[in-house]
Amino acid sequence: MKTNAIEDIVKYSLEIKKKIPQATIIHHVDAESGIWATRKRKIVRWIKDEWQPVADLPYSWPRDIFAFSRITSRIMRADKCNVYVNRLGNVMAIRAGSVYAIEGGQVRRLFSIQGDCVLHRSICEDEQGSIFFGEYFMNPDCRPVRIWRVSPRLDDWQIAAQLEGVRHVHGVYRDPYHTGHYWVTVGDFAGQCNILQSIDQFKSFISHGDGSQKWRAVNLFFTSDHVAWLTDSNLEQNHACRMHRQSGSMETGQPINASVWYGCSTAEGLHVAFTTIEQGPAILSNESQILVSEDAFHWEKVYGFKKDFWKPVKIFKYGVISCPSGIVSKNSLFLSGEGLVGLDGTSVQVAIKKTAYRQ
């Protein structure tokens, strides 16, 4: 007997719950749900329904001379920095090529790195609280690039690994399914794009990929069976991709209309990604889109912010959306942006909602 199948179609939508103009970049959500952000050189933390000052990062010349306006800050990249809080509650910051420990309102310089700072959400830690990050800089001479290890109490640091033949490190990620497994994304050009896997604290690496743009990734998404990414290419058509953990085989999915730098996986298991509006033949949109997926391979758009009118974009900044590290929720997700209409040098709190209807 024939029956008419009734299927539940699932769709997602995004609601902007609150605009947060006081936070230029929201960097981290800590174990107490404290929200760490920066405004120019100032580190602030949202706790008990108010922004509380934490510390001022050291003055950097000449960029901070131009921090008096939003547009000059964009030109000089004056906002660039990182703030990360490990499981012991110790706070590390990176700005203008220096790594700092923040404690009791005091800023203690630890060491220098190649480059200004690192990409958002590209820092991770192990089960003891040791922090790992890789150097991100333009590196035209293709000098060796380092992965750093900072001790849980931020009182010791060392080079965990040195990588040859890559432009820079996009991110270092701890595998949530396998203790002691770490993944490193590197780029950018032909022969340099691979995803590296380490199971021995960066003493050695298994290299996945053929160096092509299909393996050019920034953020990684993890499932029990796959490691997934959306490609970060301004040169070639972007796609959703994933690699099977056991076989190592790579699968190419749907096309994406711009490069993807940032993304996250929420506590509820939903994956979120953001397209970046930069320059190049692979940038096919003027809108930085927010994409969601349940399996990190099939994606749908839930929202978009248009690129603003300031050009050339290489000087006045690309259209970028980022989100904080730490444990994030689809019901209260914080986004920061630059170069976008309605999201430039500010942040928002959003909720991503799931709706099912019958077809």
Q: What is the set of domains in the chain, with CATH numbers? A: 8-358 (2.130.10.10)
CB neighbour list of residue 298: distance below 8 Å, 6 or more residues apart: 240, 253, 254
Contact 272, 292 (CB under 8 A): yes
User: Average pLDDT in the 48-63 region?
Assistant: 95
Distance CA 60, CA 63 (A): 6
In percent, how much of the chain has pLDDT > 70? 96
Contact 73, 345 (CB under 8 A): yes
Alpha helices for 309-359 (secondary structure H): 313-316
User: Average pLDDT in the 181-197 region?
Assistant: 97
Confidence of residue 2 (pLDDT cuts 50, 70, 90): very low
Upstream peptide bond of 140 is cis (omega within 30 degrees of 0): no
Give pLDDT, residue 10. Answer: 66
Q: Terminal CA-to-CA distance of the chain, rounded, Å?
A: 21
Confidence of residue 9 (pLDDT cuts 50, 70, 90): low
Q: In the structure encoding, which two tokens stand for residue 235, read together?
A: 């040169």
User: Average pLDDT in the 271-287 region?
Assistant: 98
Closest CA to 241 of 270, 273, 266: 273
User: Average pLDDT in the 49-72 region?
Assistant: 96
pLDDT tops 60 at residue 255:
yes
User: Average pLDDT in the 180-190 region?
Assistant: 97
Give pLDDT, residue 47. Answer: 87
- pLDDT tens digits for range 311-345: 999 999 999 999 999 999 999 999 999 999 999 99
Confidence of residue 48 (pLDDT cuts 50, 70, 90): confident
Q: In the structure encoding, which two tokens stand for residue 249, read together?
A: 């085989």
Contact 333, 12 (CB under 8 A): no
3-state secondary structure of 329: strand
Confidence of residue 355 (pLDDT cuts 50, 70, 90): confident
User: Average pLDDT in the 292-304 region?
Assistant: 98
User: Average pLDDT in the 172-176 region?
Assistant: 98
Mean pLDDT of the chain: 95
Closest CA to 328 of 303, 350, 355: 350
- Strand duo 35-39 + 25-29: pairing: antiparallel
Give pLDDT, residue 7. Answer: 54
- pLDDT tens digits for range 136-155: 999 999 999 999 999 999 99
45-83-63 Cα angle (round to 5): 105
pLDDT tops 80 at residue 132:
yes
Distance CA 152, CA 336 (A): 27
